[in-house]
Amino acid sequence: MLVSIKWLKDYVNTQDLPPAELGEKITRAGIEVDAVIDRSDGLSNIVVGYVESCEKHPEADKLSICQVNVGEETTQIICGAPNIAAGQNVIVARPGARLPGGMKIKKAKLRGEESNGMICSLQELGIEGKLVPKAYAEGIYVLPENAEVGSDVITNFDLDDTVLELGLTPNRADAMSMLGVAYEVGAILEEEVKLPEITYTEAEDTASSMLTLNIDSPEANPLYVAKVVRGIEVKESPMWLQQRLMAAGVRPHNNVVDVTNYVLMEYGQPLHAFDYDLLETGNITVRHAKKDELITTLDGNERKLSLNNLVITNGEKPVALAGVMGGANSEVSKNTKTVVIESAYFESGSIRQTSKEHNLRSDASSRYEKGVDPNRVIPAAERAAQLLSELAGGEVLAGSVIFDKLQREEKVVHVSPDFINSRLGMKIRFDDMLDILNRLQFKTEAMNNQLMISVPTRRQDIQIEEDIVEEIARLYGYDEIPSTLPETATTPGGLSPYQQKRRIVRNYMEGAGLLQATTYSLTSEKSATQFAMKQTELTRLLMPMSEERSTLRQSILPHLLESVSYNTARRTDSVALYETGSVFLKGHDELLNEEEHLAAAITGLWLDNSWQGEKKAVDFFVLKGIVEGLAAKLDIELEFERGEMDGLHPGRTAFITLDGRRIGIIGQLHPNEQKARDLKTTIVMELNLAELFKEQTEPLVYTQVPRYPSITRDVALVLSKIVEAGTIEKLIRSAGGKLLKDVRVFDLYEGDNLEAGKKSVAFSLTYFDPEKTLTDEEVTAVHDKVVGALKESGAELRS
Amino acid sequence: MEAQLNELKTQALDKIAAASNVKELNAVRVAYLGKKGPITDLLKGMGKLPAEERPKMGALVNVVREEVTARLEERMAILEEQAINEKLQSETIDITLPGRPVKSGNAHPLTRVIEEIEDLFISMGYEIEEGPEVEKDYYNFEALNLPKGHPARDMQDSFYISEDILLRTHTSPVQARTMEAKGGEPIKIICPGKVYRRDNDDATHSHQFTQIEGLVIGEDIRMSDLKGTLSVFAKKMFGEDREIRLRPSFFPFTEPSVEMDISCFKCGGEGCNVCKKTGWIEILGAGMVHPNVLEMAGYDSKRLTGFAFGMGPERIAMLKYGIEDIRHFYTNDVRFLSQFQRTEV
């Protein structure tokens, strides 16, 4: 909502506060002033000029040489506008004048001809192009004939004004009108509100002698008022009206349309003007549209209607989409002689639905959607009739054609002063509360320590006691509220075990050298299931904004890999990222099964200490080591089981299992996948954290530090390449029994000295007895058992 | 023999003095004091001496041997020290060379902000509650006093999956769920999480972002308690000398509703580019829980009251760290992420 302060002063004394200060007071009281716009900002030395003569520039087709009377002299100005003509009053920026954007006007020569100033368009005075009347949109603006030559344009045409731009929240629909803002400012400044005085002379003929009215949908349209004004002359509105509309962000058209818009801005009540003769039938019937009925609205679009749409008809065909936009077939034009002014109350839900269905928003629909003041419907019609008789030379027919089934009692709210103070934690005096309610012009009765407050119908947002609490508090001042802390029982607070484990994982991953990334949950259909361990039906948005963000992810990895590629494309060759977040799987009920996952991706060098000759590229085992460390941290036993997945290297991929359940995947990207993503060797993993966190960790009890030494024996084996070290390790462990404390691979050799298809793996076995020092014989006995078992399995001992 | 002995002594002492390193000196030791050395030979040869000369000679040999030994030890100490010094000299390193890098990652700046806020409220006795990101229309809107067709639903255009299921547009549904679960009991929670809105991504908008909401319900919770709580938050988060101010606002789920500004932490309130010359920075929205919201979750709004507040970690991080573009949080440029390594304590 744009509020011209000059206009506002018609209704309320603004105490001549500087605009910024007034804006601040309004903001602090509850309606945020987003901007304070000085309409004359950067303008100076701009006067009314009379074009005495206008001739084509001999050297330039598009330029005219004008002799312009600027009051103190007649001077030559070159003008490039197509609509310049002798006999016009125009806006002249004199040499030395300033225009918005810091432009300074100087004497100049244009193609050899002297030019002493500039004839201006409204755009050049800083008015937005879309607000300039169509007739002047492509050229200069022509002032009225009676404009005083040489006078100051800025003051004479109300450009010395400041506009407050209000950022309205949906509850404050009352402030979508100048009167509504006047009530708010009146309450803040403790000033009375002055309503427009409506007087005009009526004709002897009555409106109902020319127009009949049928309301077929009283629920959606409980009040309809029509005024008939005849003998009007459709023309340009006077300057003051045009300027006020432009200040309010409305483009002037002609006096009839401008009056309806002016009253809309003034009262917040949408009006519509029909050309009476184009209605043809002398009847207005309001009903719901028939299925597939057609109407061409004022914006030139033909619209196919549905049963939900309320339409104004002439008894036969639609002439307007009720509360949203008029129809082209009854539009007011230069030839219009008689108009019907409609002021109606349409139910907000109906308008909202129609507006949404046709994706059509107008100044009218946005007000109806939020609810207009039922008590302003009739005054607004009267106000329009008055202005039309004043500005369009019209004769207002007596009375109105009216249908009125609208309830409009004031809401009464009961509230006690104690309630107000206890909710606020304050001690506001009763008299101060009454004073604030009076300023708001809420009628108040006090009875038995209880306030009975009648809320004016313009404030439909006030329904319950708490609303009154807010009204009192905002005008009393939120700065006056003290700062206290809740006096409730002290609670311990803290993270749940799940949340603690999440932080442990985060800290661990970062300690291990990975940066935490955050990617989007929405992705393309194509990548939604890539790398997903459990693929379910896709979950698509009903109305995605783009295909790239149309579907919920079932794996974190695709986006995480995009982030890796983003970095390598910017020459960060070594990247190590991890992310924790939800993946979205179809579940049993209507909500999705949201699983929290941990994903990681590493590429480039893992260790780069090149001056000491240490350089290690990422490989499968770097990331596997990180997963193993995480398992140790969380005290769970994870196993790795050879596996395959699209997009991963078939020989370098494993499922991560917990108690036999697959809860994760780890692997190297398939060369084709790497190429597609423009990546070098990249290792990825993804784990279901929720599964990981399910395991209840045991209380930590210390194990005695060994008092007896342990003994280590090594064994080197020649194995077929297909035999996995893990299998051998299991065999060793089961043969070693309880004295075997640890088994570690300490060497792997695959090379020339071995038979083809063979590899050599060396294990280091640690024996230990917590009860005593093991003797060589005891160790040998167990170790021989292990070696025996190995031999039996077909392993060849290497000496 | 005595002369022979003295001759030997002189020779040995000369050689000891001449030895320039430990090895040479050890050779001297072996040559003169070793089992095959001349002094040992002399002692062996004493058997040929008359018996009465033997003690005298024996004593003499011992004196010589002790003296030679003593001088040798002396020299040895010097040479050993010299050897160590030479070794140390040769082992000198260029200590300005870089150390072996310790690989270390760090949290995303949003996590950093969220955890800081979580910890602050945990210290005030709050618990952390979370909820689904794909949510029922009921919890996202209806239970929060936003029935179907409510004009305020326009404030947050949503991503629907079906007529009744959508990506949550705020973390407030977690409040509604918690209230329903607690069945009328007092509540003190913080709810962080991801939320989604139909916005085109640009420098100030993101279709996915994060929120943190707080909710306190109990007997006699007042608006002054909200102000006090937010004041503590502002001071801990943005500095002890921060002041707060409340401005009336509107949210369907609170009444009264406010927005909270803090005095600008850059200029202290004088006006600068961070606060757009106003001296104040808008940080969060808050209010007293609307009685409809309480009643819908089964609370007696006459007996229990509450306050709620909600803020955007992106906005807080942008203000705190001077980040100019919200897209940085979701691009994951390592050159951006790794800047949040160090502590600020």
Model confidence band, residue A365 (pLDDT cutoffs 50, 70, 90): very high
Nearest to A319 by CA among A294, A345, A351: A294
CA-to-CA distance for B195 and B172, rounded, in angstroms?
10
Specify whether A432 is located in the same domain as A468.
Answer: yes
Specify whether A518 is located in the same domain as A627.
Answer: yes
- Give the closest-approach CA distance of A175 to chain B in angstroms: 14
Say which of B121, B198, B223 has its CB closest to residue A424.
B223
List of chain A residues whose C-beta atoms are within 8 Å of the C-beta of residue B136: 590-591
Say which of A426, A545, A608 has its CB closest to residue B207.
A545
Q: Is A482 near chain B, with CB under 8 Å?
A: yes
A783, A713 in Cβ contact below 8 A? yes
Per-residue pLDDT, B266: 82
Q: Which range among A416-420, A582-586, B262-266 shows the weakest confidence by mean pLDDT?
A: B262-266
Model confidence band, residue B85 (pLDDT cutoffs 50, 70, 90): very high
Task: Name the A residues in 595-614 with CB < 8 Å from any B CB.
Answer: 606-609, 611-612, 614
Supply A139's token pair: 């050229």
CATH code at position A19: 3.30.56.10
* H or E stretch covering A789: helix A776-792
DSSP label at residue B58: H
Share of chain B above pLDDT 70, in %: 99
Per-residue pLDDT, A663: 95
Read off the pLDDT of each residue in A653-668 and give the average, rounded to a whole number: 96
List of chain A residues whose C-beta atoms are within 8 Å of the C-beta of residue B332: 515, 517-519, 563, 566-567, 577
H helix runs in A103-201, sequence order: 153-156, 178-189
φ, ψ of residue A42 to 5 degrees: the values are 85, 5
Residue B150 scores a pLDDT above 80 = no
Could you write out the DSSP letters of every residue in B72-105?
A: HHHHHHHHHHHHHHHHHHHT---TTSPPPPPP--
Nearest to A795 by CA among A699, A728, A735, A733: A728
Amino acid at A512: A
- Give the closest-approach CA distance of B127 to chain A in angstroms: 5
CA-to-CA distance for B266 and B35, rounded, in angstroms?
87
Burial class (CB in 10 A: 0-12, 13-18, 19+), A315: middle
Task: Name the A residues in 354-383 with CB < 8 Å from any B CB.
Answer: 369-370
DSSP label at residue B293: H
Supply A694's token pair: 């399910």
Say which of B97, B126, B164 has its CB closest to residue A493.
B126
Say which of B165, B225, B333 has its CB closest to residue A567.
B333
Model confidence band, residue A471 (pLDDT cutoffs 50, 70, 90): very high
In A643-739, at which residue ranges do the beta strands (DSSP E only) sit?
648-658, 661-669, 682-688, 711-720
CA-to-CA distance for A271 and A472, rounded, in angstroms?
34
Q: Is A490 near chain B, with CB under 8 Å?
A: yes
Say which of B110, B118, B334 has its CB closest to residue A572.
B334
Query: Could A511 and B338 be called an inter-chain contact, meaning their C-beta atoms sit closer than 8 Å?
Result: no
Q: Is A347 near chain B, with CB under 8 Å?
A: no
Q: Is B255 flagged in the annotation as binding?
A: yes
CA-to-CA distance for A488 and A331, rounded, in angstroms?
65
Q: Which residue range forms the structural domain that includes residue A18?
A: 11-35+167-189
| End-to-end C-alpha distance for chain A, whole angstroms | 91
* H or E stretch covering A421: helix A417-424
Specify whether A212 is located in the same domain as A317.
Answer: yes
Query: Could B186 and A30 be called an inter-chain contact, meaning their C-beta atoms sit closer than 8 Å?
Result: no
List of chain B residues whose C-beta atoms are within 8 Å of the C-beta of residue A519: 330, 332
Model confidence band, residue A590 (pLDDT cutoffs 50, 70, 90): confident
Domain for residue A576, yes or no?
yes
Nearest to A652 by CA among A662, A664, A661, A643: A643
| Beta partners for residue A742, in sequence order | A766
Query: Could B134 and A606 be called an inter-chain contact, meaning their C-beta atoms sit closer than 8 Å?
Result: no
Query: Which one of A26, A354, A466 makes the best mutation probe of the B interface by having the most chain B beta carbons within 10 Å?
Result: A466
Share of chain A above pLDDT 90, in %: 84
Nearest CA in chain B to A511: B104
Query: Could B133 and A594 be called an inter-chain contact, meaning their C-beta atoms sit closer than 8 Å?
Result: yes
Specify whether A577 is located in the same domain as A631.
Answer: yes
Specify whether A678 is located in the same domain as A609.
Answer: yes
Read off the pLDDT of each residue in B39-60 and give the average, rounded to a whole number: 80
Domain for residue A699, yes or no?
no
Supply A427's token pair: 């001690």
Nearest to A743 by CA among A789, A689, A702: A789
Model confidence band, residue A44 (pLDDT cutoffs 50, 70, 90): confident
Going by the annotation, the residues of the binding site of A are 461, 467, 470-471
Quick one: how many helices (H) and strands (E) in chain B? 12, 9
Specify whether A594 is located in the same domain as A635.
Answer: yes
Supply B198's token pair: 């139909």
Residues 6+ apart with CB under 8 A from A409: none
Q: Match 């629920």 to its residue by tokens.
A: A219
CA-to-CA distance for A222 and A234, rounded, in angstroms?
31
Quick one: how many helices (H) and strands (E) in chain A? 21, 43
Nearest CA in chain A to B258: A30
Specify whether A720 is located in the same domain as A597.
Answer: no
Residues 6+ apart with CB under 8 A from B1: B42, B49, B57
Residue A115 scores a pLDDT above 60 = yes
pLDDT in tens, B185-211: 999 999 999 999 999 999 999 999 999
Number of domains in chain A: 6
Read off the pLDDT of each residue in B273-295 and give the average, rounded to a whole number: 90
CA-to-CA distance for B6 and B60, rounded, in angstroms?
10
Residues 6+ apart with CB under 8 A from A415: A450, A451, A453, A465, A468, A469
Nearest CA in chain A to B156: A170
Rounded to 10 deg, the angle between the B22-33 and B54-90 helix axes is 170
3-state secondary structure of B177: helix
Specify whether A609 is located in the same domain as A675.
Answer: yes
List of chain A residues whose C-beta atoms are within 8 Å of the C-beta of residue B333: 566-567, 570, 572
Model confidence band, residue A794 (pLDDT cutoffs 50, 70, 90): confident
Per-residue pLDDT, A240: 94
Task: Name the A residues in 32-91 with CB < 8 Å from any B CB.
Answer: 32
Domain for residue A574, yes or no?
yes
Nearest CA in chain B to A560: B332
- SS3 of A491-542: the string is CCCECCHHHHHHHHHHHHHHHCCCEECCCCCEECHHHHCCCCCCCCCCCECC
- Chain centroid offset of residue B78 CA: 51
Residues 6+ apart with CB under 8 A from A148: A48, A156
Supply A293's token pair: 């009925």
Nearest to A168 by CA among B286, B152, B206: B152
Per-residue pLDDT, A380: 97
Rounded to 5 degrees, what angle do the CA atoms A712, A717, A720 make?
Answer: 150
Q: Is A572 near chain B, with CB under 8 Å?
A: yes
Instruction: Tell me whether strands A339-345 and A271-275 are parallel, antiparallel or unpaired.
Output: antiparallel
pLDDT in tens, A507-556: 999 999 999 999 999 999 999 999 999 888 999 999 899 999 999 999 99
| Beta partners for residue A67, in sequence order | A53, A76
What is chain A's length?
A: 799
Model confidence band, residue A561 (pLDDT cutoffs 50, 70, 90): very high
* H or E stretch covering B15: helix B2-18
List of chain B residues whose C-beta atoms are within 8 Å of the C-beta of residue A503: 115
Domain for residue A89, yes or no?
yes
Model confidence band, residue A628 (pLDDT cutoffs 50, 70, 90): very high
B251, B144 in Cβ contact below 8 A? no
- How many CB atoms neighbour CB A733 within 10 A? 14
- How many CB atoms neighbour CB A233 within 10 A? 14
φ, ψ of residue B142 to 5 degrees: the values are -60, -45
Residues 6+ apart with CB under 8 A from A226: A207, A211, A213, A284, A340, A341, A342, A343, A381, A400, A401, A402
Q: Which fold has domain B109-340?
A: BirA Bifunctional Protein; domain 2 (3.30.930)
Burial class (CB in 10 A: 0-12, 13-18, 19+), A424: buried
Domain for residue A483, yes or no?
no
Query: Could A577 and B332 be called an inter-chain contact, meaning their C-beta atoms sit closer than 8 Å?
Result: yes
A345, A385 in Cβ contact below 8 A? no
pLDDT in tens, A722-742: 999 999 999 999 999 999 999
Say which of B108, B152, B167 has its CB closest to residue A518.
B108
Specify whether A268 is located in the same domain as A326.
Answer: yes
Nearest to B294 by CA among A451, A423, A487: A423
Amino acid at B230: L
Query: Could B334 and A172 be called an inter-chain contact, meaning their C-beta atoms sit closer than 8 Å?
Result: no
A342, A249 in Cβ contact below 8 A? no
- Average pLDDT score over chain A: 93
Query: Could A170 and B250 be called an inter-chain contact, meaning their C-beta atoms sit closer than 8 Å?
Result: yes
B175, B295 in Cβ contact below 8 A? no
- Give the closest-approach CA distance of A129 to chain B in angstroms: 26
Domain for residue A485, yes or no?
no
Specify whether A95 is located in the same domain as A172.
Answer: no
Share of chain A above pLDDT 70, in %: 100
Query: Could A423 and B124 be called an inter-chain contact, meaning their C-beta atoms sit closer than 8 Å?
Result: no
The interface predicted TM-score of the complex, written ipTM, equals: 0.88
Query: Which one of B168, B247, B262, B295 makes the best mutation probe of the A interface by having the most chain A beta carbons within 10 Å?
Result: B247
Residue B151 scores a pLDDT above 70 = no
Nearest CA in chain B to A504: B107
3-state secondary structure of A771: coil
Burial class (CB in 10 A: 0-12, 13-18, 19+), A511: middle
Residue B155 scores a pLDDT above 60 = no
CA-to-CA distance for B206 and B200, rounded, in angstroms?
7
Domain boundary, last residue among A476, A511, A528? A476
Residues 6+ apart with CB under 8 A from A765: A712, A713, A714, A715, A732, A736, A740, A742, A743, A783, A786
Specify whether A98 is located in the same domain as A222.
Answer: no
DSSP label at residue A300: S
Supply A797's token pair: 């001992």
Model confidence band, residue A799 (pLDDT cutoffs 50, 70, 90): low
H helix runs in B172-290, sequence order: 172-182, 223-238
Amino acid at B147: P
Rg of chain A (C-alpha set): 41
Read off the pLDDT of each residue in A714-727 and give the average, rounded to a whole number: 92
Domain boundary, last residue among A346, A374, A404? A404
Specify whether A390 is located in the same domain as A258.
Answer: yes
Amino acid at A679: L
- How many CB atoms neighbour CB B189 within 10 A? 23
CA-to-CA distance for A511 and B48, rounded, in angstroms?
81
